[in-house]
Structure 1
């Protein structure tokens, strides 16, 4: 496998004009029924994305090609299931590995549309679920709508890290950048690994441990942020170099989702809706998480008084550490992710948290893109929200686990909260565009 990968990357290095097609085809294969399980597409996608980030392709082109390839893989898989129906079970490779089909079928029948969104991030399920959807006659318009949404988040998660690594290797970054990046990445990986491990093992102390680990990591970051100057400068320069005028408006709209006013109204609406449906403990958990994060963020900003990057023509006057947008977004979406995972298996709960982190991470990254926060600011904001979210959950669950919200509650809560977030952000967009003017 290693020799084959080296041969492929070596050939693409000498023939960069084929790199775009390679990204498209590898993304397609990764989402293609059966082949997506056999071919190590995740490794390939990282390697190819890193080559694209080294200067061959822009970030937008890379993500668009991966997105299109993933959609094609979904469409082919769905068409195979729709054409063969139950006859798909007689394929030789599925006769030897019936567990591939059975596992995906049970998952789809249990979770329906949600399985196509969540299962996108579970390796063995990703290529099989679209075929199962076709085999069980899921309506094409419904499948297409879900696939368009799921493939977008998947392309970002699987291609952005590789592209960023390739772009970072190409730039003349400050001395000490890689040692600082390695230390921060290793620390975060250790924390996430311990949280995932204890959660999968169903340890009773998994949630308090997660709170403690996030708080310890936050403390270390707050005490040591001055020693990560080269990392902050390098990442900010990397992102600013790839700014695009066509993307500015989108990023301003995204960043509005994390504004204090937007998050305040969204939090109040979430709490009110949970009280209306008499989910008292869920409302208490949400209130403790959101209010605690907001108060702690304000206090830490005043305590550390860190200045913002000098990118805007009219710099914002408040302090930057931790990022209020990052902490508010992670607190809100992690709350939704935890509530969505109640009553499910540990793997499903972790998958819901992964999905919840996607919009929060997008909002946090928009702050670095707009030049109003350092990268360590948004990491600190995420750790702050994670620690208070886990701490609130541990306190609410001291005696009994938090109950699961029924489907009717979710059909009330989720659309209204998302509509409110979007409505406020769009309404305030003209004012925000005037605010974020660059030097």
Structure 2
């Protein structure tokens, strides 16, 4: 029966495809709406709609855009409801009969503050109430909408892309090695985040707050220098060729199409959005030192990137048609690594445990996926993306060190008794 229903819906949408986008937006809107989200199986519904889109009815970018708009509007209305009703919302249905739903959201907000707006999206039992709770708690509207917009994009990807990929996989033969590669990148992301946080915590307990970022800057500089020498001298050519052959074996049309979307996460057009939002927030809160550090490290990263590109002047792989023909290092990979790690630093600065681990794992996964997309699109060689990962991480670590120098003076300069 379920299969027959799916076929019937697919057949109807095949002839009325223009309705799929608004239906996805409506599902995301209702799933995000205060209280109503408890009554709607949002995850299952959006997954099913993603399967329909992936079966050939819609391209992934419009699907993500519709889901983004619906979720952002739903959360925005929920915030306004909480902001205007405040404590009176407790007397409204369904909270009047299920007060525990609201209490869970309040406890979560008290624990994680503004970050709960982003985290709550991915936690089913509290997702429909967190925006309303943020309004009840008199969270700044500007801060709410900045966090809301920043977190809606990854939410749309997480809730709709699995269904889209499932629908696409039903009609396309994706190499099994591609799935193994994704699992490997996920494990690497988790391992890097785990080791980095564990080491940093131990050093900070010993008042060595600059040891990890400064040590990484030094070691990454040495590694980048060796990689540059090997790449320029041709010693890395065999590794580039082997990786190029492997990537060619998994580059089926759907993988190339998804890579074309993922690579936008490392483009200047997309990366300026979180940077501008952070800059506006720092100006609003008068955190001028943070804005100065962010701007200085961003300028340093871009200057270093382009000096290396122009100085080394390494050609890209054959037949690449882009804005520039400088291959080493990868600009998209460098920028994605630096920006997404830096934004994560600002979002989870006061958090601990699983929150930090999850956030940094996601940021690292984005950087690695952007690097992979540049290889699939034949925009760069393997050595180029490795250099990009190192260069972006160097400037992120420099930003961490600068933050700690300016904002941890009591630790760096203990009181003299």
TM-score by length of 1: 0.57
Alignment pair present for 1:102 and 2:106: yes
Output one character per residue of 1:205-261: Cα deviation in whole Å (capped at 9) or x when no partner. 9979x999xx9xx99x86851322122464574369x99xxxxxxx799447889xx
Within-5 A mapping of 1:276-295: 277=289, 290=301, 294=305
- Displacement of 1:128 after TM fit? 2.3
CA change 1:146–1:170 in 2 (3 A) is same
**Larger gyration radius, structure 1 or structure 2:** 2
Cα deviation 1:156-187 (Å, max 9, x = unaligned): 4543454355446545x6xxx52231121010
Conservation of the 8 A alpha-carbon contact between 1:47 and 1:162: yes
Q: Distance in 2 between matches of 1:143 and 1:278?
A: 20
Matched, 1:318 2:329: no
- 1:143, distance to aligned residue in structure 2 (A): 5.3
After TM superposition, the structure 1 = structure 2 runs for residues 322-361 of structure 1, keeping only pairs within 5 Å, are 323-338=330-345, 341-350=348-357, 353=360
> Helix, strand or coil: the match of 1:344?
coil
CA distance in 1, matches of 2:361, 2:336: 14
Distance 2:297 2:128 in 1: 35
CA separation of 1:7 and 1:364: change in aligned 2, threshold 3 A: farther
* Partner residue in 2 for 1:273: none
Map 1:109-188 to 2 at 5 A.
110-111=113-114, 115-117=116-118, 119-120=120-121, 126-137=127-138, 147-148=148-149, 150-152=151-153, 154-160=155-161, 162-163=163-164, 166-167=167-168, 170-171=171-172, 177-188=174-185
Q: Assess if the C-alpha contact under 8 Å between 1:25 and 1:69 holds in 2.
A: yes
Alpha-carbon contact 1:199-1:346 (below 8 Å) kept:
no
Give secondary structure in 2 for the equivalent of 1:24.
Answer: helix
Q: 1:66 deviation in Å?
A: 0.8
Find the residue that maps to 1:27 and give its secondary structure: helix
Q: What is the RMSD computed on CA atoms of the aligned residues?
A: 5.8
What is residue 225 of structure 1 aligned with on the other side? Answer: 243
Q: Using the alignment, how far apart are the partners of 2:324 and 2:66 within structure 1?
A: 36
Indicate if the aligned counterparts of 1:297 and 1:324 stay in contact, CA closer than 8 A. no
State how far apart, in whole Å, the 2-side matches of 1:32 and 1:121 are.
14
Change (3 A) 1:222 1:28: farther
Secondary structure of 1:345's counterpart equals: coil
Any unmatched runs of 5+ in structure 2? 205-211, 228-235, 276-287, 410-417
Deviation, 1:52, is 0.4
CA 24–316 in structure 1, closer or farther in 2 if over 3 Å, else same: closer
| CA-CA distance at 1:389 after TM superposition | 6.7
Change (3 A) 1:139 1:165: same
Q: C-alpha offsets along residues 94-152 of structure 1, whole Å, 9 cap, x if unaligned?
A: 434454222243157x43xx653565455555432211133245576875676455434
| 2:190 equivalent to 1:193 | yes
Residue equivalent to 1:88: 89
Give, in whole Å, the separation in 1 of the partners of 2:143 and 2:345: 26
In structure 1, the residue matched to 2:24 is 23
**Counterpart Cα distance in 1 of 2:379 and 2:251:** 9
Return the offset for 1:23. Answer: 1.9
Measure how far apart 1:56 and its partner are. 0.5
User: Gaps spanning 5+ residues in structure 1: where?
Assistant: 244-250, 264-275, 407-439
C-alpha distance in 1 between matches for 2:372 and 2:39: 34
Separation in 1 of the partners of 2:197 and 2:43? Answer: 22
Q: CA-to-partner distance for each residue in 1:32-51, whole Å, 9 max, x for gaps? A: 33454675634543442232
CA contact (8 A) 2:50 2:164 kept: yes
Contact 2:190 2:361 in 1 (8 A): no
Matched, 1:49 2:29: no
Change (3 A) 1:117 1:189: closer
Cα 1:179–1:331, aligned 2, differ >3 Å: closer, same or farther? Answer: same
Provide the TM-score with structure 2 as the length reference. 0.60
